[in-house]
Homo-oligomer: A and B are copies of this chain.
């Protein structure tokens, strides 16, 4: 079996660390692992498969001997280095927002639109975390009933902001417990005991960029600009795993029972849906899991053809690192690297 030389750019970040762990856990055919990060971290070490590996600087020339590189070093680094890596013959799977809406770059969730990988030109974009878990849950229903409109409210974890987000919430929680004043630095407002309807920057139309990602990425991956999406993205004091309250309107009628049956058979999904036994997906209990969990599946009582559901996934795994590794696995399976 062919083995690959794999780079991880942003290896010391929250998602980068999860990428390395995921490559190990899923036994990706790694010939050589190359952790890359900013120059000031040159020489620091990470552990991969029990061995210490030195972190190198992500820069021109660093990608020449790599087959594939998973990028999670932020938008600026991706904009600068992804084209460099691609030109050096390395296939880039980029977790940032930099290339997601670029018509020359496929945006892929392996369960949703693997076929788009065929036209990659050495850069493939990994979608936004909130979009990934929403579309894994909705694609099987879209195939059966055709989704016309989605209204979604998110309950997003601080790890979406990386290690700094986690540290901010932990710090505020500790300050609260010790009756000290809470310090605010990462978010514009206190995140402990709060709900911030503000993720990423705000755009001209009054929506946040996080919200518009859910609109535009959905249309790109489902190849259907007529799908209407109306999102509200909210950060809440949860460490890890995003939750979403999703309402869909479909062309054909779907009963809750039919939807449940379809989702139970769908790839990458676990149905967890028995409210009378207090069973529904919960952020705090699904940390480290790989699937998208769906519960509270119920018919919309306000329109003819509608469904509601509650969707939870680990934003660092399926929402980021795992989806990127699955893209790499699919490239291997399809013979595209």
A310 vs B207: C-alpha distance when bound (angstroms): 12
Q: Is there an interface contact between A301 and B188, defined as CB atoms closer than 8 Å?
A: no
Question: Chain A, 215-234, contact with B by CB distance < 8 Å: what is the 0/1 string?
Answer: 10000000000001110101
Question: Chain A, 252-265, contact with B by CB distance < 8 Å: what is the 0/1 string?
Answer: 00001000000000
Instruction: Please give the distance in Å from A18's CB to the nearest CB on chain B.
Output: 18
In the complex, A48 has a CB within 8 A of chain B: no
In which size bucket is the chain A interface?
35 or more
A276-317 at interface with B (beta carbon < 8 Å): 276, 278, 280, 282-285, 295-303, 306, 308, 310
Q: For A302, list chain B residues within 8 Å (CB).
A: 149-151, 228-230
Q: For A275, list chain B residues within 8 Å (CB).
A: 198, 202, 206, 208
Instruction: Please give the distance in Å from A230's CB to the nearest CB on chain B.
Output: 4
In the complex, A133 has a CB within 8 A of chain B: no
Q: Is there an interface contact between B276 and A247, defined as CB atoms closer than 8 Å?
A: no
Q: For A245, list chain B residues within 8 Å (CB).
A: 153, 197, 232, 234
Q: Is there an interface contact between A280 and B149, defined as CB atoms closer than 8 Å?
A: no
Q: Is there an interface contact between A298 and B256, defined as CB atoms closer than 8 Å?
A: no
In the complex, A1 has a CB within 8 A of chain B: no
A327 vs B196: C-alpha distance when bound (angstroms): 32
Are A285 and B155 CB-contacts (below 8 A) given A173-B173, A173-B176? no
| Residue in chain B with minimal CB distance to A239 | B193
Instruction: Please give the distance in Å from A312's CB to the nearest CB on chain B.
Output: 8
In the complex, A205 has a CB within 8 A of chain B: yes
Q: Is there an interface contact between A198 and B278, defined as CB atoms closer than 8 Å?
A: yes
| Residue in chain B with minimal CB distance to A157 | B193
A228 vs B304: C-alpha distance when bound (angstroms): 11
Are A306 and B230 CB-contacts (below 8 A) given A189-B285, A236-B237? yes
Q: Is there an interface contact between B205 and A298, defined as CB atoms closer than 8 Å?
A: yes
Q: For A32, list chain B residues within 8 Å (CB).
A: none
| Residue in chain B with minimal CB distance to A149 | B302
Q: Is there an interface contact between A193 and B237, defined as CB atoms closer than 8 Å?
A: yes
Instruction: Please give the distance in Å from A169's CB to the nearest CB on chain B.
Output: 8
Instruction: Please give the distance in Å from A226's CB to the nearest CB on chain B.
Output: 11
Q: For A306, list chain B residues within 8 Å (CB).
A: 230
- Name 23 A/B residue pairs within 8 A (Cβ), A-sorted: A155-B155, A155-B195, A173-B177, A174-B177, A177-B177, A188-B278, A189-B282, A189-B285, A193-B284, A194-B283, A194-B285, A195-B236, A195-B238, A197-B245, A197-B310, A206-B297, A207-B301, A228-B302, A229-B301, A230-B301, A230-B302, A232-B296, A236-B238
Q: Which 9 A-B residue pairings sit nearest by Cβ, starting from the closest?
A: A206-B298, A228-B302, A177-B177, A153-B153, A230-B302, A194-B284, A232-B245, A188-B278, A153-B245
Given contacts A206-B297, A236-B238, 18 further A-B contacts (CB under 8 A): A153-B153, A155-B236, A173-B173, A177-B177, A190-B285, A194-B282, A195-B236, A195-B243, A197-B243, A197-B310, A198-B275, A202-B276, A205-B298, A205-B301, A228-B302, A232-B245, A232-B308, A234-B243
